[in-house]
Amino acid sequence: MSYIDLRSDTVTQPTPEMREAMAKAEVGDDVYGEDPTINRLQELAAEKMGKQAGLFVASGTMGNLIAVLSHCQRGDEVIVGKKNHVFVHEAGGMSALGGVHSCQLPNQPDGSLLLEDVAGAVRPDDLHEPVTRLVCLENTHNGCGGVYQTPDYTHQMAEWAHSHGLSVHLDGARIFNAAVAQGVPASQLSGPVDSVTFCLSKGLCAPVGSVLCGSQPYIAKARRLRKMLGGGMRQAGILAAAGLVALEKMVVRLGEDHARAKKLADGLRLVPGLQLDPKTPATNMVFLSLRPEVQCTTDELIEKLKKRGVLIGATGERQYRLVTHYWIEDADVQEVIEAFRRVVG
């Protein structure tokens, strides 16, 4: 049975053009810096992020871990939102593997951190306390509904952090969604920060990989940490070739995913038994919940929809996330709306 898979944009498969590029990719040993395809990808990624250099890594989680470890020493502290991916969904890596302490602050509904909260969390110069070293931001913000941060917010936070001797890392897994939604270049969202990661394997459809970008000295340090973590991938230009297609061809069409997410949300709002936040979707994610009168558990709804060929993911008790992407068509949107009508309407 074929499924309309809305669980995440991580389920995207490489496009035919990507597969062809992968088959023809020129490769070399990347640990020696000799893979020309990876080198081109890193240069293009850095250009788009407004940075000096880039580093191809296996995943966003690896990229964020390397980013934190490149900024912090063992025992240092990073200020991060309670709902940020790097804190909630990355297996505690920065603490377990890096010995980096975290100070978790409440995220605002738009995913941001209040500047006054960040200011209040900075540690005094006291030998009893960890040293505050880094602020982590996220854009788009998965845990807050796929919402995006503005260039003004990012600039304000980075300017304040730098004036107080702190660095800023941006988990920009879906930064191109944020950029397209606001009609700005991605570099306006990443330029003010010290480091940024973004994923090639979500809405951009590449099969594997993320890129960490920053200054030349910073990326040189990050490269050593990547090797330490087992990320020296040798002839990985085969993977980077798909990443090049992703950056050159897939960014410009992300607005289509956003438009389909809006159509999906508009249709689901008319289904009795469903509750949607009035602001959803901000990008390509639709968040909804079941009204109290619907007699259905979290897993039961997922199973009922699966039997109708629709896959969705749960984000909480009777709460769900639906994510549009390259492989979701207009007809799929209508089919999903009808499936919900039959199951909970």
* Nearest partner of 286 among 245, 332, 240, 320, judged by Cα: 320
Query: 10 Å Cβ neighbour count for 330?
Result: 11
| Confidence (pLDDT) at 279 | 86
pLDDT in tens, the chain (345 residues): 799 999 999 999 999 999 999 999 999 999 999 999 999 999 999 999 999 999 999 999 999 999 999 999 999 999 999 999 999 999 999 999 999 999 999 999 999 999 999 999 999 999 999 999 999 999 999 999 999 999 999 999 999 999 999 999 999 999 999 999 999 999 999 999 999 999 999 999 999 999 999 999 999 999 999 999 999 999 999 999 999 999 999 999 999 999 999 999 999 999 999 999 888 999 999 999 999 999 999 999 999 999 999 999 999 999 999 999 999 999 999 999 999 999 996
Q: How many Å is the Cα radius of gyration of the chain?
A: 21
Parallel, antiparallel, or unpaired for β 132-138 and 53-57? Answer: unpaired
CA distances to 18, 289, 298, 299, 313 from 319, rounded to whole Å, are 35, 4, 7, 10, 9
The Cα 345–Cα 339 span in angstroms is: 9
Let me know whether 235 and 168 are in one domain. Answer: yes
Distance in angstroms between the alpha carbons of the first and the last residue of the chain:
24
- CATH number of the domain bearing residue 214: 3.40.640.10
- The whole model's pTM is what? 0.96
Please tell me whether residues 273 and 245 are part of one structural domain. no
Q: What is the model's pLDDT at position 1? A: 72
Q: Are residue 305 and residue 237 in the same domain, yes or no?
A: no
Last residue of a domain, one of 200, 216, 251: 251
- 139 with 190, same domain? yes
- Does 53 lie in the same domain as 31? yes
**Could you identify the residue written with the tokens 């969604």?**
177
How many structural domains comprise the chain? 2
Same domain, 246 and 263: no
| Cβ-based neighbour number of residue 299 at 10 Å | 10
How many Å apart are CA 99 and CA 97, to the nearest integer?
A: 6
Rounded Cα–Cα distance for residues 261 and 3 (Å): 17
Task: Give the residue numbers spanning the domain of 275.
Answer: 4-10+253-344
CA distance 47 to 150: 20
**Same domain, residue pair 262 and 206:** no
pLDDT at 252: 96
pLDDT at 327: 97
Report the C-alpha gap between 49 and 190 in whole angstroms. 6
Same domain for 257 and 247, yes or no, is no
For residues 107 and 155, membership in a common domain is answered with: yes
| Tokens at 43, concatenated | 């240069």
Q: What is the CATH number of the domain that holds 307?
A: 3.90.1150.10
**Structure confidence at residue 277 (pLDDT):** 85
Residues 239 and 284 reside in one and the same domain:
no
187: exposed, middle or buried (Cβ count in 10 Å: 0-12, 13-18, 19+)? middle
CB count, 10 Å around CB of 91? Answer: 10
What is the pLDDT, as a whole number, of residue 183? 98
**Listed residues 234, 251, 268: the one ending a domain:** 251
Residues 153 and 47 in one domain: yes
Any alpha helices (H) in the chain, and if so which ranges? 16-24, 36-49, 60-71, 85-88, 93-96, 115-121, 151-163, 175-182, 187-190, 216-228, 237-245, 254-268, 298-307, 330-344
CA distance 30 to 234: 5
- Claim to verify: residue 299 and residue 199 sit in the same structural domain: no
Phi, psi of 186 (to 5 degrees): -60, -30
What is the model's pLDDT at position 123? Answer: 97
Domain-ending residue, one of 251, 278, 297: 251
pLDDT of residue 269: 97
